[in-house]
Structure 1
Amino acid sequence: MKVVCSTHHRAHFPGNVVENGVARSSRDVPERLDALLRAVKSASLEIVDATDHGRAPLATVHSAAYLDFLATAYQEWKSSGLPARVIPAVFETRRPACRDDWSVIAKAGFHLRDQITPVNEGTWLAAYWAAQAALPAAELVKNGERQVYALCRPSGHHAGRDFGGGATYLNNVAIAAKWFAGEAERVAIIDIDVHHGNGTQDIFWNDDRVFFSSVHRSPKGYYPHFTGYRDEVGGPGATGSTLNWPMREGAADVEFVEGFRTCLFAALKHDPVAIFVSLGFDALATDPANGLRVTEKAYETIGTMLGSIEVPLLLVQEGGYDLGTLETVARRFLSGLGIAR
Structure 2
Amino acid sequence: MRSFFDPRQLAHSPEVELHNGAFQPHAEHGGRVRSIASALGRTEEPADHGEAPLLRVHSPAYLDFLKSAWREWRAAGRPGDAAAYAWPVVRRRPIDLDRIDARLGRYSFDASSPIAEATWDSAYWSAQTALSALEAVLAGERNAFALCRPPGHHCGADYLGGYCYLNNAAIAAEAALAAGRRRIAILDVDYHHGNGTQDVFYASGDVLFVSIHADPRTDYPYYWGHSDEAGEGEGEGSTLNLPLPRGAGRTDYEPALGRALERIAAFAPDLLICSFGADTFGGDPICHFALEGCDYPVLARRIASLALPTLVVMEGGYAVDALGANVAAFLSGF
Q: TM-score range by the shorter chain?
A: over 0.9
* Further displaced range: 187-196 or 11-20: 11-20
Shift, 1:15, TM fit:
1.3
**Whole-angstrom CA distance in 1 between matches of 2:317 and 2:117:** 24
Could you list the per-position Cα deviations for residues 82-119 of structure 1 after superposition, in whole angstroms to 9, with x for gaps in the alignment?
12111102111233996444211100011111111000
**Structure-2 separation of matches of 1:321 and 1:284:** 9
CA distance in 2 between partners of 1:101 and 1:92 (Å): 11
Q: Which SS does the other structure have where 1:47 is aligned? A: coil
Does 1:26 pair with 2:26? yes
- 1:287 aligns with 284
Match of 1:297, as an amino acid? C
Retained in 2: the 8 A contact 1:98–1:110? no
> Secondary structure of 2:162's partner?
coil
Q: CA deviation at 1:307?
A: 2.9
Mapped to 1, the partners of 2:168 and 2:270 lie a distance apart of 19
Deviation at 1:257, TM superposition (A): 2.1
Aligned residue-pair number: 333
The 5 Å alignment of 1:88-107 reads 88-95=84-91, 99-107=95-103
Please name the residue that 1:138 is paired with: 134
Moved more, 157-166 or 282-291: 282-291
CA distance in 2 between counterparts of 1:211 and 1:95 reads 31
Alpha carbons 2:15, 2:81 under 8 Å: kept: no
Partner of 1:49: helix, strand, or coil? coil
Any stretches of 5+ residues in structure 2 without a counterpart? Answer: none
Deviation for aligned residue 1:253: 1.1
Counterparts of residues 95-244 of structure 1 (less than 5 Å) = 95=91, 99-182=95-178, 185-244=182-241
Residue identity (%): 37
CA shift digits 1:111-151 (9 cap, x unpaired): 11111100010100000110010011111111111100000
Q: Distance in 1 between matches of 2:181 and 2:269?
A: 11
Question: Normalised by the size of structure 2, how large is the TM-score?
Answer: 0.96
Tell me, which stretches of 5 or more residues in structure 1 are unaligned?
none
- Whole-angstrom CA distance in 1 between matches of 2:210 and 2:286: 21
SS in 2 for 1:226: coil
Over 3 Å counting, the alpha-carbon distance change for 1:3 and 1:139 in structure 2 is: same
Shift of 1:22: 2.2
Instruction: For 1:99 and 1:37, locate their aligned partners in 2 and report how far apart those are by CA, in whole Å.
Output: 40
Alignment of 1:17-56 (within 5 A): 17-41=17-41, 47-56=43-52
Give the secondary-structure state (helix, strand or coil) at the position aligned to 1:324.
Answer: helix
Q: Which amino acid aligns with 1:119?
A: I
